[in-house]
């Protein structure tokens, strides 16, 4: 099979096929408007539309497979540190010892933010959502650092962004607590440094727990990329206009914030808490989720691509038990989550629609046990997704065939009409 045949308006057109390395097939419609004199494809929500080809991440939603640059998410979570996964996603291969040492050192050295940026934090109300702070501050980085497009400048900004985002995130947490910000330390690893900036206080020493460090490492790795999801597609959309790295990623952070995307991790915990306060009647909430007249959905359930158990959720469900018991934390929300999952997965509505827990269903339980407040959950997702967004932005920029992203539409408004004087309207 080398082409697909389209019959339109009595004529036949052969459309070329494009095939990926895992055998997935796309029908190339780039010439469609030209050859048909104006017809376009119509696919709101882009469920059947490939917007690019990419060598970064592979997902098989039917089988529940997720790989970064060919490496399974399971092996990466077990055998690597997040900083190695950043390098893998952005530069294509896991780093050698030398590369890792250089890259790790660079990311550590750039962790401080410009002192003037600290003043911004003073201006936000204490109740400011940390996602609002993160996206504005990441966008503001372009006011402080040259956004030149030569390869060296681009690589430096990539390092700056990876390094500084976690400082901004931790400072936004300190702001919400009314505590002084804590500066990074160059002797700590990426994850330890973040935990230090989040939880250290000038009045008492803070030691990073190895259990919390390991859990954070795994969470960041599991969130690191997910091919053309809403926020990554946003980063590519904005970046396609030749906008700089910082503002393109800031746009992705905003897209992630929505409760149907990364904001679901905060929404899951709020939902579980609500169910607990309401007496723990799981069935009532499963029924509400099934009722089409009720806008309620089971947060942390369902996925556009996975029609099988989300492999990230599988790992997180397994880890939740271990992390909580190692930290000596008992959380009634974990029991509610498990019971809700059990009831939903036995229900015909969820079975028929292949609705399984997604990455956001169990991640919040682990963040809570680590002492991270609910409002910070989506920020944690953003920190994890950062290397993925950067990799896609870089891949798009390096591709000489990239054009500005500009979809078409089917117009359904009024036909041409006269502008009448006010008295005659
Ligand atoms: N609870 C109840 N019903 C659901 C749910 C849910 N969580 N998710 C999907 N459905 C139903 C939906 O009503 C529809 O039913 P019908 O065929 O009868 O109309 C069917 O399942 C297909 O759903 P859809 O809305 O057409 O699917 P989608 O691919 O457009 O949306 C989704 C995917 C993730 C936005 C959706 O499943 C959802 O809203 N889930 C809850 C929010 C959530 O957990 N989001 C995190 C996604 S994973 C991490 C990330 O990418 O950020």
Closest CA to ligand 1's atom 47: 261
SS3 of 268-312: HHHHHHHHHHCCCCHHHHHHHHHCCCCCCCCCCECCCCCCCCCHH
pLDDT recorded at residue 240: 98
**How far away, in angstroms, is 27 Cα from ligand 1 center?**
26
H or E stretch at 367: helix 359-369
Is there a domain that residue 32 lies in? Answer: yes
Q: Which of 382, 395, 65, 394 is nearest to 231 (CA)?
A: 382
Cα torsion angle, 93, 97, 98, 99, sign: positive
Buried b or exposed e, range 69-107, using 16+ CB within 10 angstroms: beeebbebbeebbbbbbbbbbbbeebbeeeebeebbebb
Cβ-based neighbours of 110, under 8 Å, separated by 6 or more: 159, 160, 162, 163, 164
Closest CA to ligand 1's atom 12: 353
Nearest atom within ligand 1 for CA of residue 301: 7
Across the chain, how many H-helices and E-strands are there? 18, 6
**How far away, in angstroms, is 369 Cα from ligand 1 center?**
27
Backbone angles phi, psi at 65, to 5 degrees: -110, 135
CATH number at residue 8: 2.20.28
* Chain mean pLDDT for the chain: 95
**Long-range Cβ contacts of 26-35 (<8 Å, 24+ apart):** 26/50, 33/408
Nearest atom within ligand 1 for CA of residue 263: 52
Is there a domain that residue 317 lies in? Answer: no
pLDDT recorded at residue 202: 87
Is there a domain that residue 31 lies in? Answer: yes
- The alpha-helical segments, DSSP class H, found in 25-81 are 32-36, 73-79
| Residues flanking ligand 1, CB < 6 Å | 229, 260-262, 264, 289, 297-304, 353, 355, 358-360
Closest CA to ligand 1's atom 39: 260
Cα(389)–Cα(234) distance, rounded to whole angstroms? 9
Buried b or exposed e, range 146-185, using 16+ CB within 10 angstroms: eeeeeeeebebbbbbbbbbbbbbbbbbbbbbeeeeebebe
Is there a domain that residue 306 lies in? Answer: no
pLDDT recorded at residue 26: 97
Cα(362)–Cα(356) distance, rounded to whole angstroms? 12
pLDDT tens by residue, 199-242: 999 898 889 999 999 999 999 999 999 999 999 999 999 999 99
Percentage of the chain exceeding pLDDT 70: 100
Mutate to test the pocket of ligand 1, among 46, 57, 229, 302 (most ligand atoms within 8 A of CB): 302
Q: Which residues of the chain have pLDDT under 70?
A: 1
Alpha carbon 270 to its chain centroid, in Å, reads 20
Backbone angles phi, psi at 169, to 5 degrees: -60, -45
Nearest atom within ligand 1 for CA of residue 300: 44
Closest CA to ligand 1's atom 14: 353
**How far away, in angstroms, is 350 Cα from ligand 1 center?**
10
Beta bridge partners of 60: 65
Is there a domain that residue 34 lies in? Answer: yes
**Long-range Cβ contacts of 328-332 (<8 Å, 24+ apart):** 329/369, 331/365, 331/368, 331/369, 332/276
Closest CA to ligand 1's atom 48: 358
pTM value? 0.96
- The alpha-helical segments, DSSP class H, found in 178-222 are 190-199, 210-222
Cα(102)–Cα(136) distance, rounded to whole angstroms? 29
pLDDT recorded at residue 280: 85
pLDDT recorded at residue 345: 92
Quote the number of domains for the chain.
Answer: 1
**Rg, Å, the chain Cα set:** 23
Cα(247)–Cα(250) distance, rounded to whole angstroms? 5
**How far away, in angstroms, is 284 Cα from ligand 1 center?**
19
Is there a domain that residue 259 lies in? Answer: no
- The alpha-helical segments, DSSP class H, found in 110-189 are 115-123, 130-144, 151-177
pLDDT tens by residue, 298-314: 999 999 999 999 999 99
Closest CA to ligand 1's atom 50: 261
**How far away, in angstroms, is 299 Cα from ligand 1 center?**
9
pLDDT recorded at residue 264: 96
The catalytic residue positions are 303, 360
Q: Which of 117, 276, 91 is nearest to 181 (CA)?
A: 117
**How far away, in angstroms, is 344 Cα from ligand 1 center?**
14
**How far away, in angstroms, is 260 Cα from ligand 1 center?**
8
If 0-12 CB within 10 Å is exposed, 13-18 middle and 19+ buried, where does residue 143 land? exposed
pLDDT recorded at residue 151: 85
Q: Which of 220, 90, 74, 231 is nearest to 151 (CA)?
A: 90
Closest CA to ligand 1's atom 32: 303
CA atoms within 13 A on the CB side of 230: 15
Cβ-based neighbours of 289, under 8 Å, separated by 6 or more: 296, 297, 298, 301, 344, 349
Cβ-based neighbours of 409, under 8 Å, separated by 6 or more: none
Range of the domain at 46: 3-50
Is there a domain that residue 9 lies in? Answer: yes
Is there a domain that residue 33 lies in? Answer: yes
Q: Are 370 and 212 in contact (CB under 8 A)?
A: yes
Cα(363)–Cα(266) distance, rounded to whole angstroms? 10
Nearest atom within ligand 1 for CA of residue 289: 2
**How far away, in angstroms, is 293 Cα from ligand 1 center?**
15
């Amino acid at each position: 099979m080398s082409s697909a045949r389209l019959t339109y308006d009595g004529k036949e057109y052969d459309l070329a096929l494009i095939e990926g390395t895992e055998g997935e097939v796309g029908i190339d419609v780039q010439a469609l408007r030209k050859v048909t004199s104006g017809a376009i494809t119509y696919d709101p929500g882009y469920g059947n539309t490939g917007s690019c080809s990419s060598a970064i991440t592979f997902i098989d939603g039917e089988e529940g497979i997720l790989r970064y640059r060919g490496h399974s998410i399971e092996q990466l979570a077990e055998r690597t540190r997040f900083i190695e996964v950043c390098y893998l996603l952005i530069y294509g291969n896991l780093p050698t010892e030398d590369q890792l040492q250089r890259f790790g050192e660079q990311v550590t050295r750039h962790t401080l933010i410009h002192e003037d940026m600290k003043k911004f934090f003073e201006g936000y109300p204490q109740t400011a959502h940390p996602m609002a702070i993160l996206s504005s501050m990441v966008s503001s980085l372009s006011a402080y650092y040259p956004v030149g497009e030569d390869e060296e400048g681009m690589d430096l900004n990539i390092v700056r962004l990876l390094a500084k985002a976690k400082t901004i995130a931790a400072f936004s947490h300190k702001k919400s607590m009314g505590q002084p910000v804590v500066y990074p330390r160059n002797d700590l690893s990426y994850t330890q440094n973040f935990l230090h900036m989040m939880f250290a206080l000038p009045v008492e020493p803070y030691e990073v727990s190895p259990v919390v460090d390991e859990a954070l490492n795994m969470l960041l790795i599991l969130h690191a990329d997910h091919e053309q999801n809403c926020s990554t597609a946003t980063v590519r959309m904005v970046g396609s206009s030749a906008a700089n790295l910082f503002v393109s990623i800031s746009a992705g952070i905003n897209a992630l914030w929505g409760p149907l995307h990364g904001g679901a991790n905060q929404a899951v915990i709020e939902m579980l808490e609500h169910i607990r306060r309401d007496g723990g009647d799981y069935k009532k909430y499963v029924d509400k989720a099934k009722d089409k007249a009720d806008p309620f959905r089971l947060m942390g359930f369902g996925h556009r691509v996975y029609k099988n158990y989300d492999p990230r959720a599988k790992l997180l469900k397994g880890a939740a038990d271990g992390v909580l018991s190692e930290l000596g934390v008992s959380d009634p929300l974990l029991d509610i989550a498990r019971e809700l999952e059990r009831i939903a997965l036995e229900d015909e509505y969820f079975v028929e629609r292949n609705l399984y827990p997604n990455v956001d269903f169990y991640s919040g339980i682990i963040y809570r046990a680590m002492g991270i407040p609910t409002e910070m959950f989506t920020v944690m997702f953003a920190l994890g997704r950062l290397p993925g967004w950067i990799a896609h932005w870089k891949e798009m920029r390096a591709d000489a065939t990239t054009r500005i992203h500009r979809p078409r539409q089917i117009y359904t408004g009024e036909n041409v009409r006269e502008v009448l004087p006010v008295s005659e309207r």
